[in-house]
Amino acid sequence: QPQEGRLLLASHSLFADLPPADLDSLLSHSRPVLFTAGEAIVREGAKGRSLYQVITGRVEVEKEVQPGHTIHVAELGPGEVFGEMTLFQGAPRSATVRALEDSRLLRVDRAGVRELLERDPDLLERFAQLVNSRRRELESLGHEEQQREASNLLEAMRNLFFALGGG
- Contact residues toward ligand CMP (CB under 6 A) are 42, 48, 61, 73-74, 82-86, 93-95, 97, 134, 137-138
C-beta separation of 145 from 63 below 8 A: no
Q: What is the three-state SS of 136-164? A: HHHHHHHHHHHHHHHHHHHHHHHHHHHHC
Shortest reach from residue 43's CB to ligand CMP, in Å: 9
State the minimum distance, in angstroms, from the CB of residue 80 to ligand CMP: 8
Give me the sheet containing 40-42, strands edge to edge.
40-42, 96-99, 59-66, 69-76
Of 65 and 85, the one with the shorter C-beta distance to ligand CMP is 85
Cα 34 → chain centroid = 17
Give 24 or 62: the residue with its C-beta nearer to ligand CMP: 62
For ligand CMP, which is the closer residue by CB, 31 or 49? 49
50 vs 30: CA distance, rounded Å: 9
Nearer to ligand CMP, 128 or 157 (CB): 128
State the minimum distance, in angstroms, from the CB of residue 96 to ligand CMP: 7
| Start-to-end CA span in the chain (Å) | 77
Closest approach, Cβ 48 to ligand CMP, in A, equals 5
